[in-house]
């Protein structure tokens, strides 16, 4: 009878252990995430940054990053940046990056960007054997959490954090609805989507699945301990 009571308490505790979903509150809902968000001088803008049909870019006057989110589940990302080289200061690398696809807002507060398979990027490195080349870019990206604030001067401001917690440059809403290229396949390419490292990062960020026997046993052991502690109180 005593063991039956322990088991009852343990099973009753399982839903509270598993349901650790984030509660979207005012930190996220100052305004919906739907729209186009650009950093810095707001010169990098989705919808006019890339020309996928001929694998080219329209160079903006300044560097930056831009995210667009549509209400149909599609996203688009545009990036223009320079990477410094401490050992060879003259070897500054320029990167232009574009991709689009489907996004998911997960229960743990993170965002996953799943590419459509037609993304690409241009690398410019004056010190490399090949100084200017274009390659496919179709990596699944994980952002651990996000928040929207109201800036007194620039209006809605979106903060997105990489899978390791480091912040992306603050993003300001410049269009709503978003300014995006068509949400379909924009060039003929065989998708090569790398999800392994991102899925690992997703697990590290807290989106855990209880699928293996070891996971289930660990969960039940923890729940059993909760049940014992409850009886002793």
Please give the average per-residue pLDDT across 195-216, as a whole number: 38
Q: What percent of the chain has pLDDT over 90?
A: 58
Worst-scoring range by mean pLDDT, 128-132, 164-168, 213-217? 213-217
Taking residue 96's Cβ as centre, other Cβ atoms within 10 Å add up to 23
Instruction: Evaluate whether 27 touches 161 at the Cβ level (below 8 Å).
Output: no
Does residue 216 carry a pLDDT above 50? no
- Mean pLDDT rounded to a whole number for the chain: 79
Per-residue model confidence (pLDDT) at position 1: 52
Handedness of CA 53, 56, 59, 64 (dihedral sign): positive
Question: What does the radius of gyration of the chain's CA atoms come to, in whole angstroms?
Answer: 22
Model pLDDT, residue 54: 95
Q: Using CA atoms, how far apart are residues 158 and 63, in angstroms rounded to an integer?
A: 18
User: pLDDT above 70 covers what percent of the chain?
Assistant: 69
Contacts of 207 (CB under 8 A, 6+ apart): 106, 107, 108, 110
- Residue 177 backbone dihedrals phi, psi, to 5 degrees: -70, 165
Spell out the domain ranges in the chain. Answer: 23-190
Would you state the pLDDT for residue 86? 79
C-alpha–C-alpha distance, residues 121 and 78, integer Å? 10
pLDDT on residue 51: 98
Can you point out the beta strands (E) in the chain?
35-39, 50-51, 56-57, 64-69, 74-83, 93-105, 111-115, 120-124, 132-136, 141-151, 155-162, 171-175
Stretch 181-210: mean pLDDT: 57
pLDDT at 29: 65
Measure the CA–CA gap between 224 and 7, rounded to whole angstroms: 7
pLDDT of residue 89: 84
**20 compared with 162, residue with greater pLDDT:** 162
Q: What is the pTM of this model?
A: 0.72
Q: 108: which 2 tokens?
A: 């743990």
Question: pLDDT-based confidence at 20, cuts 50/70/90?
Answer: low
Query: Which of 10-14, 121-125, 190-194 is the most confident on average?
Result: 121-125
pLDDT digits (tens, 9 = 90+) for 134-192: 999 999 999 999 999 999 999 999 999 999 999 999 999 999 999 999 999 999 886 55
pLDDT tens, residue by residue, 54-89:
999 999 999 999 999 999 999 999 999 998 887 888
Helix axes of 2-18 and 213-232: crossing angle, nearest 10 degrees: 120
One DSSP character per residue, 153-179 reads TTEEEEEEEETTSPBPPPEEEEESS--
What pLDDT is attached to residue 218? 41
Q: pLDDT at position 182, please?
A: 97
Judged against a pLDDT cut of 50, whether residue 6 lies above it is answered with: no
């Amino acid at each position: 009878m005593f063991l039956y009571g322990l088991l009852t308490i343990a099973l009753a505790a399982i839903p509270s252990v598993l349901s650790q979903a984030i509660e979207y509150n005012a930190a996220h809902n100052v305004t919906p995430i739907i729209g186009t968000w650009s950093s810095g001088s707001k010169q990098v803008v989705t919808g006019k940054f890339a020309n996928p049909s001929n694998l080219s870019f329209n160079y903006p006057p300044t560097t930056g990053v831009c995210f667009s989110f549509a209400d149909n589940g599609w996203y688009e990302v545009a990036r223009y940046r320079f990477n410094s080289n401490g050992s060879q200061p003259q070897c500054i690398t320029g990167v232009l990056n574009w991709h689009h696809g489907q996004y998911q807002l997960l229960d743990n507060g993170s965002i996953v960007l799943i590419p459509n398979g037609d993304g690409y990027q241009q690398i410019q490195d004056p010190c490399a054997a090949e100084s200017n080349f274009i390659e496919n870019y179709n990596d699944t990206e994980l952002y651990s959490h996000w928040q929207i604030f109201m800036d007194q001067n620039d209006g809605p401001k979106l903060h997105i954090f990489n899978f390791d917690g480091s912040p992306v440059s603050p993003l300001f809403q410049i269009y709503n609805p978003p300014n995006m290229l068509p949400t379909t396949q924009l060039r003929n390419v065989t998708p090569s989507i790398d999800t392994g490292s991102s899925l690992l990062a997703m697990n590290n960020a807290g989106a855990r699945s209880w699928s293996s026997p070891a996971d289930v046993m660990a969960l039940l052991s923890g729940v059993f301990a909760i049940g014992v502690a409850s009886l002793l109180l």
